[in-house]
Structure 1
């Protein structure tokens, strides 16, 4: 079977084999009926994941956006969580396109613009989410290390300006995923139009196309996962050391939620990045590794999808008994989840405070 793992097709043709990238999979016809059945079962599982992510993501993140914008006092924390919800909402809103694409046996009837936009939005969500989580971690670290300065200078106006930076970086880094996305007839069935990565552009060199693909995978991992992960770990290590040194006993629910959101992001996206690198090595790998990549990549991508609907659930169900949460109004739940923690005051006075107002204005 001719290898085109890197989507090394020309502008006017489509791949003959697997397009592993992100969540579009155009599998080669299997050699036996059992394998074909397994692949189709995998597609059904993927569509279930997509559907769950769409229903929960649009509903949950839509609620977060509505409540933080119209029902709550705007604080620094609500600025962060609002932007996380916006990134997830935009992504899940486009998921029906992916569901339809899979259900139609990878026939793309929606045109070139939506093909490019769908891929662009997906990676915009990835980069924007992880960059915002990194900003949140830095913000918490500064609040703990410099409580007095933070109390005097940390405010919503500055937060609204700062949050533009991760959005801008995410926009820039997502552009290649729109540029290289293309549509064209399937090589085995001209009536089927695929939405795929075309790394050829004006070049006909396989080496250049393969290099472009490798660069995108490496950049996505380093800038969209590794560096943010290192920064976040450093920030929370510093926070933990400071808290232990000052013998603070108060436990803030917003702090727990931030930790939970960060952990869920990395748990959901780590398998995707692992399979991206396995994909790079699968061209010259043993057949069993190629099988692992073939079956594992859709599942890893589906898990990454679910991250976009997890955050609203975490906001509601962390920190208190489940039955108590069910008795709490939606507005009260989100107000409690997004209220500013009182680490700053505790670090200065080591005394508890019941104030729920934002410290930062």
Structure 2
């Protein structure tokens, strides 16, 4: 947490990831009701996330017509969400056994490394497809270049590389500490570096992306409105399809903003000198609960948004669960037979 942890006569400020923030002994004395509720929520989110994101990956992989540039970004987002959901069992364990981290030192370091990598990659993916959608709408003459899947794969690769670039240095601040019968895994940063690291992550992976996303969606809305007013006589099918795609991406970006805001607030609280853990215990605990629940909720909500807002995704999910060929594949097959 934001209070000090003393080891070998050196003072550090420490904080964890998700429910791994629970490194103080007072957590073990927490309400059983709260623990049961947290366990229930996290378990439900994990199940929905696993089912939804596996189905998302499956429908895009099995149907070539679903492999659009936008869906390639959504596929990458589904992969990161799926991997984040796999942390839930560890978090549930730490709810009930906060004083004994179950993995060794390498597992502790890998826990934090993967967490940073996946969360960073998620926000960069959302930022990338927002920029992509803005360019498609505002620069129609670039459409042929922008719709290439190979270009999307290169951008996704760059996103993973940048996410790694920021995540790997943080792994050197992760420690596994044994105190008598207790074992703690936590991220500790010297006070001289704490403000720089936390503020840099907040700026690069939250403030700046969310600002760019908000501005671009405002510009997209203005562009669509002006297009609607100047071309009423044109066919509307393509425009309606484009509007639905924009609405889907807006919903995904909005859910990410809402779900990750508590965690970003938690990181900001770490560098605020007036918000010590000892004096604002209840505030810290509420923000920790919200950040933990919201982060895992975000991994489950995206597939639900795809199903609610995209008729094509909804049909693909339905066909997958029925274990039959997708409708687009069946239509293509029927067309080929008719031509024969």
1:101 counterpart residue number: 94
Task: Call closer, same or farther: CA 1:108–1:285 in 2, change over 3 Å.
Answer: closer
Task: Call closer, same or farther: CA 1:210–1:140 in 2, change over 3 Å.
Answer: same
Q: Which of 292, 298, 301 matches 1:310?
A: 301
Matched, 1:10 2:1: no
Task: Call closer, same or farther: CA 1:96–1:284 in 2, change over 3 Å.
Answer: closer
Deviation at 1:291, TM superposition (A): 2.4
Moved over 6 A (4+): 11-15, 324-327
Matched, 1:159 2:152: yes
Q: Which moves more between the two structures, 68-77 or 138-147? A: 68-77
1:82 counterpart residue number: 75
Write 1 or 2 for the structure with the bigger share of strand: 2
2:45 and 2:58 map into 1 onto residues whose CA distance is 19
- Whether contact under 8 Å (1:181, 1:196) holds in the other structure is yes
Task: Call closer, same or farther: CA 1:181–1:44 in 2, change over 3 Å.
Answer: farther
1:212 and 1:140 map into 2 onto residues whose CA distance is 37
1:339 counterpart residue number: none
What are the residue-to-residue correspondences of 1:276-315 with 2, within 5 Å?
276-281=267-272, 289-315=280-306
1:26 counterpart residue number: 23
Deviation at 1:313, TM superposition (A): 1.0
Task: Call closer, same or farther: CA 1:21–1:52 in 2, change over 3 Å.
Answer: same
What are the residue-to-residue correspondences of 1:1-361 with 2, within 5 Å?
5=2, 8-10=5-7, 19=15, 21-24=17-20, 25-29=22-26, 36-38=29-31, 40-73=32-65, 74-186=67-179, 190-199=180-189, 209-247=190-228, 250-251=239-240, 252-281=243-272, 289-318=280-309, 328-330=318-320
Deviation at 1:177, TM superposition (A): 3.4
Summarize deviations over 1:214-247 as a string: whole Å, max 9, x none.
2222122111111101111121122111111111
What runs of 5+ residues in structure 2 fail to find an aligned partner? 230-235, 328-340
What is the TM-score of this pair, normalised by structure 1? Answer: 0.76
Summarize deviations over 1:61-107 as a string: whole Å, max 9, x none.
11111221223432211211111011111111232222223322331
Summarize deviations over 1:21-71 as a string: whole Å, max 9, x none.
5431123438xxxx9444x54444333333223222222111111221223
Root-mean-square deviation (CA, aligned residues, Å) is: 3.2
What runs of 5+ residues in structure 1 fail to find an aligned partner? 200-208, 337-361
- Whether contact under 8 Å (1:7, 1:19) holds in the other structure is no
Task: Call closer, same or farther: CA 1:152–1:28 in 2, change over 3 Å.
Answer: closer
2:30 and 2:99 map into 1 onto residues whose CA distance is 16
> What secondary structure is seen at the aligned counterpart in 1 of 2:19?
coil
Instruction: Tell me how many residue pairs correspond in the alignment.
Output: 310
1:160 and 1:298 map into 2 onto residues whose CA distance is 36
- Whether contact under 8 Å (1:13, 1:184) holds in the other structure is no
> What secondary structure is seen at the aligned counterpart in 1 of 2:109?
helix
Deviation at 1:153, TM superposition (A): 4.9
